[in-house]
Amino acid sequence: IVDLPAAVEGELRSIGSTRPGLLGTAMTVQSGLYRFEGMQPVEPSAEDLGVLGEVIVAYNAGQCGPLHQAGFVRVVDGLRERGADSMVFGCTELAMLGRDLMRDRVPKVDTLDVLAEATLRDMGYASSPAS
């Protein structure tokens, strides 16, 4: 069984992140799942969690247009302004959207990529670092 939080922590440490911005549903962010000793997570405000929730719903409905994308970028930029040195994409929809919108703007840890890489490693397959 893969310990996803431990794998995410390892990835954050490997990129030197000490203030990861957390992106996900309100439940994911508020659960503390991605809070690690020696790191100071930068969490979205209640308003920003609402924006992210709307983006997730729109993405799943195939209706994630420019306004939703701009809201997502605004949340990420706000976390960066508050000191985030990386982003944890703790939600599949946000990770997919972030791949298109964020490119190389911010170091990112996609929890789905981390899970896949850790699973392959545990099965004995060589793998490349998660991107």
Looking up residue 26, the CATH number of its domain turns out to be 3.40.50.1860
Q: Does the residue 125 lie in any domain? A: no
Question: 126 versus 1: which is more confidently predicted?
Answer: 1
Q: Does the residue 128 lie in any domain? A: no
Q: Does the residue 129 lie in any domain? A: no
Residue showing tokens 């439940």: 27
Q: Does the residue 116 lie in any domain? A: yes
Distance in angstroms (rounded) separating the CA atoms of residues 68 and 66 = 6
Could you report the per-residue pLDDT of 58-113, keeping only the tens digit for each?
A: 999 999 999 999 999 999 999 999 999 999 999 999 999 888 787 777 899 999 99
Q: Does the residue 126 lie in any domain? A: no
Q: Which residues contact 112 (CB under 8 A, 6 or more apart)?
A: 89, 92, 95
b vs e for 82-97, b when ≥16 Cβ sit within 10 Å of the residue's Cβ?
A: eebbbbbbbbebbbeb
Sheet holding 20-23, edge to edge: 20-23, 86-89, 108-110
Distance in angstroms (rounded) separating the CA atoms of residues 79 and 99 = 17
Average pLDDT (4-12) is 96
- Considering its fold, how many domains does the chain have in total? 1
pLDDT at 127: 58
Regarding pTM above 0.85, the answer is yes
pLDDT at 18: 98
* Host domain of residue 108: 4-120
Average pLDDT (44-49) is 98
Whether 131 shows a pLDDT value over 60: the answer reads no
